[in-house]
Amino acid sequence: MTLFQRYMFRQLLWPFLASMLALSGLALLTQSLSNLDLIADRGDTALAFFLITLLAMPQVVALLLPVAAFIACAIALNRMVGDSELIVGAAAGMNRRQRLTPVLRLAAYIVLANLVINLFIQPASFRQMRELLYEIRTDIAASFMREGEFIQLGDSVTFYVRDIGDDGVMNQVFIEDGRGTASSAYAASRGVIAQTERGPVMLLENGVLTQVDEAGVLSRLSFDRYEFALTAFVDSSAAFVFKDSDKFLPELLEPSASDIARARGASELYAEGHYRLSSPLYNLAFALIAAAAFFAVEHRRTGYTRYVLIAGASALILRLTGFAVQAAASSDASLNPVQYGLPLAACTIAIGLIIAPALKRRGGGNTLRTAPA
């Protein structure tokens, strides 16, 4: 790169980094608010809350990259046009392609970063997040056990624990179970929650089972060890399965039979896989659309606000259309090529608008009324 191109690249880079920092901070705040129930309802630690919020960020960052690219190009180019720096570059003999090269270079770096996030970082982080969420949602003690409180589940079962040790051992456990025709009460000196093939159970030690049968006969039974099933109190929606967003690209483009059955068809997996590959192209499209707002119009001393707004609206419509195409491709795999064609078509149109003034000048147009950039 020439000295001017390196300077222009730095002018583009710093607004991009600042935009990403601001947008990521806002997204992090929004994401954290949606996860507050982990602390409020389940009593989990702030560390688990922070980890889940952090692990969800790669997908959000990937969505924000094109927006940051557009903002960076709009801010940098607007300042450079206002200070006549692009005009100085043109007067020094730099053609339109040379002045556009820093924009393309920044966009190419962002495309690569987005591709790495989509193919490697996002699925890896989402798998970790899914495992952590599963542990939290199936943690019976964290879900409803409270030291020194009678916790009622539904209308028939009541739990009481005097205290819970750091190792998860519960002391002085009392359970009243009124389900069915018989009423039972369990009192044990110790209790530990464990996972078995049948689901989670509470292992009660050194206790007494008091039961009243249908005839009203009271019976008492001492036990050294008893397993009280907790399956009925586990969130049934917390089954541990990897979603489409958790899978790596080979798992999406070459899915197994079980993955296809879980995803309600192969088209849904194919659509996600092609989205991972095609969505980074929106970074290039957004950067070129922003550049077209300055390069494709006449030099205006009054500013380019109107053209930037038009470019921003065009970029928004483009991205929303891309989401719609992805959703449609989930049920019709033949639409997957459109996921690539849409951003590439936008790039082609933007490049056409950018080079149009130069073509007019070569055709004998008025050079004074074309964009100097």
Q: Does residue 299 share a domain with residue 260?
A: yes
Q: Does residue 211 share a domain with residue 299?
A: no
Q: Which two tokens stand for residue 109?
A: 């770096």
Reported as a single tens digit per residue, the pLDDT across 165-187 is: 877 788 999 999 988 777 899 99
Q: For residues 35-61, give the mean pLDDT.
A: 75
Structural domain ending residue among the three candidates 200, 234, 268: 234
| pLDDT(88) > 80 | yes
What pLDDT score was predicted for residue 196? 78
Q: Does residue 324 share a domain with residue 245?
A: yes
What pLDDT score was predicted for residue 36? 67
Q: Does residue 259 share a domain with residue 307?
A: yes
Q: Does residue 169 share a domain with residue 126?
A: no
Q: Does residue 255 share a domain with residue 184?
A: no
Q: Does residue 202 share a domain with residue 132?
A: no
Q: Does residue 195 share a domain with residue 338?
A: no
Lowest-pLDDT choice from 12-16, 201-205, 340-344, 350-354:
201-205
**289-308 b/e (C-beta count within 10 Å ≥ 16 → b):** bbbbbbbbbebeeeebeebb
Structural domains in the chain (count) = 2
Q: How many CA atoms lie within 13 A of 216 on its CB side?
A: 0
What pLDDT score was predicted for residue 372? 46
Q: What is the Cα gyration radius of the chain?
A: 30
What pLDDT score was predicted for residue 89? 86
Band (pLDDT 50/70/90 cuts) for residue 371 is: very low
What pLDDT score was predicted for residue 309? 96
Band (pLDDT 50/70/90 cuts) for residue 349 is: very high
Whole-angstrom distance, CA of residue 320 vs CA of residue 166: 50
Q: Does residue 117 share a domain with residue 7?
A: yes
Q: Does residue 151 share a domain with residue 125?
A: no
Lowest-pLDDT choice from 64-78, 152-166, 269-283:
152-166
Band (pLDDT 50/70/90 cuts) for residue 92 is: confident
What is the extent of the structural domain holding 343?
3-138+240-369
Q: Does residue 94 share a domain with residue 34?
A: yes
Angle (CA) 24-27-33 rounded to 5° is: 140
Structure-model confidence comparison of residues 33 and 113, the more confident one: 113
Q: Does residue 29 share a domain with residue 173?
A: no
Structural domain ending residue among the three candidates 194, 217, 234: 234
| Of 1, 63, 52, nearest in space to 26 by CA | 63
| Mean pLDDT score of the chain | 86
Q: For residues 5-23, give the mean pLDDT.
A: 96
Reported as a single tens digit per residue, the pLDDT across 237-281 is: 555 678 889 999 999 999 988 888 888 789 999 999 999 999 999
Those residues with Cβ within 8 angstroms of residue 249's Cβ, 6 or more apart along the chain or in another chain = 119, 273, 276, 277
Structural domain ending residue among the three candidates 234, 253, 271: 234
Q: How many CA atoms lie within 13 A of 362 on its CB side?
A: 6
Q: For residues 341-345, give the mean pLDDT.
A: 98
Whole-angstrom distance, CA of residue 336 vs CA of residue 205: 59
What pLDDT score was predicted for residue 128? 92
